[in-house]
Amino acid sequence: MAVIIDILYCAEWDDGFGARGWKLESTIADSRVIASTAFTGEISETSVFVHDIVDHYLCGLKIGGHRNEVIAVFLHALRSGVPIDSSIALMVEDLITTGECGEELETFLPDHMLHGTKLPATDSISLMEKIASRYGKQETYHQLIEHYYRIGAEGIPDALSAWSAHGLDNARRSAIGRCLQKLIRDADSHVQDKGISMARGQIRVGNTKCRIMTRTGEWHRPVIT
């Protein structure tokens, strides 16, 4: 049994960024989701696209919004051992600076930080400024760091349950991620070598093997634990 995921490749996405790469079909309408290639960077052994599949889609987490992202960061760390401190710090700094987290602050922030703050504030930045004024910037930062860590830790059980509900083995998350990375590298090299401008395809994720299929190619690899 395999989980089937529809994907789309474009050599240049008309999304304001002009990025080359792959997206999940389910995210195409969301301009905030930037296409990803097989590039892994210097820290993680898997690409952003694998992260979108393994730590978001298959774990029932939408892409975007700090709540989803922090849980996905924890899930990424669990399967690959990458550090999470810098990712969480960036989200906290972004929240303090912009007041944006992908949902209303009244539902996202802990109750004790909102207590005594006159609502509604004129905007999210004003609300964050009021909170920072009450606690001080450094204490606000530390409390938000603790809040993000709490969200991440508490979100893991439901995310892993969503993974299991697909019939996938939690003990194989790391191996499946590595397998998908190799497959995406295969497919990404193919579309570049052939000069393909757009390709629709499917990823089939299983416990023992994974596969990528497009109209012009098909690649499969075993899941090696």
7 three-class SS: strand
Question: pTM of the predicted model, to two decimals?
Answer: 0.94
**End position of a domain, from candidates 146, 167, 188:** 167
Q: What is the mean pLDDT of residues 63-74?
A: 97
Same domain, 48 and 157: yes
pLDDT at 50 over 70: yes
The pLDDT of residue 122: 60
- pLDDT, tens digit (0-9, with 9 covering 90-100), for 3-46: 999 999 999 998 888 899 999 999 998 888 899 999 998 889 99
Can you give the residue range of the structural domain that contains 219?
196-225
| 186 found inside a domain | no
- Domains of the chain: total: 2
- pLDDT, tens digit (0-9, with 9 covering 90-100), for 114-129: 876 665 556 888 889 8
What's the CA gap between 9 and 1, in Å, rounded? 25
Q: Which residue has the higher pLDDT, 46 or 134?
A: 46
Structure tokens at 16: 């304001």
114 three-class SS: helix
CB 181, CB 79: distance < 8 Å: no
DSSP state of 82: -
Q: What is the mean pLDDT of residues 70-81?
A: 97
Same domain, 156 and 213: no
The pLDDT of residue 119: 56
What's the CA gap between 35 and 21, in Å, rounded? 5
The pLDDT of residue 115: 79
| 11 found inside a domain | no
Q: Which residue has the higher pLDDT, 18 or 173?
A: 173
214 three-class SS: strand
Same domain, 140 and 40: yes
Q: Which backbone phi and psi does 111 adopt, to 5 degrees? A: -60, -40
CB 67, CB 108: distance < 8 Å: yes
